[in-house]
């Protein structure tokens, strides 16, 4: 598994979580490194939560049949899905994702908890990008 992150601290955390190849996208050309590590082939799948700024470089990092998944970036409105399609997605999650969660194979990385009254501070931390993992608000 390859990951990219913008600090050595985040790279170390990802390595501790099981990443095989850790690339600092701020100091290293991740396309060149991916190609080097894969013998010029590229990777099979990229999960991208940053979006447009890295779109072309992500495409350049994929192998010929690779897949790029954009997560949480919306340039347009949501696509309407039929009830049948939603049912298929739910079944797939129940069959493939939920068992891994129940077995403890998938665990969230929680960085910090904030009371709801400190939501402004939580948001500042989020914007600073200094956290590694999720920031939680509680009542």
Tell me the domain boundaries of the chain: 1-74
* 109 pLDDT above the threshold of 70: yes
What is the percentage of the chain residues whose pLDDT exceeds 90?
64
Q: How does pLDDT run across 50-97, given as a tens digit for each residue?
A: 777 888 999 999 999 999 988 776 555 556 778 898 888 889 989 988
> CATH homologous superfamily of domain 1-74?
NAD(P)-binding Rossmann-like Domain (3.40.50.720)
- The model carries a pTM of 0.69
More confident residue, 32 or 77: 32
Query: Rounded to whole angstroms, how far apart are CA atoms 12 and 1?
Result: 14
């Amino acid at each position: 598994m390859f990951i990219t992150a913008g600090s050595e601290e985040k790279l170390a955390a990802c390595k501790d979580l099981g990443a095989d190849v850790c690339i600092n996208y701020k100091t290293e050309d991740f396309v060149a490194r991916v190609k080097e590590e894969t013998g010029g082939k590229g990777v099979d799948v990229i999960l991208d939560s940053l979006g447009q700024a890295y779109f072309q470089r992500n495409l350049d990092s994929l192998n010929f049949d690779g897949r790029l998944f954009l997560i949480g970036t919306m340039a347009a409105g949501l696509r309407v899905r039929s009830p049948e399609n939603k049912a298929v997605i739910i079944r797939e999650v129940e069959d493939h994702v939920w068992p891994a969660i129940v077995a403890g194979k998938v665990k969230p990385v929680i960085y910090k908890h904030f009371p709801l009254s400190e939501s402004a501070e939580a948001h500042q931390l989020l914007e600073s990008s200094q956290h590694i993992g999720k920031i939680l608000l509680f009542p």
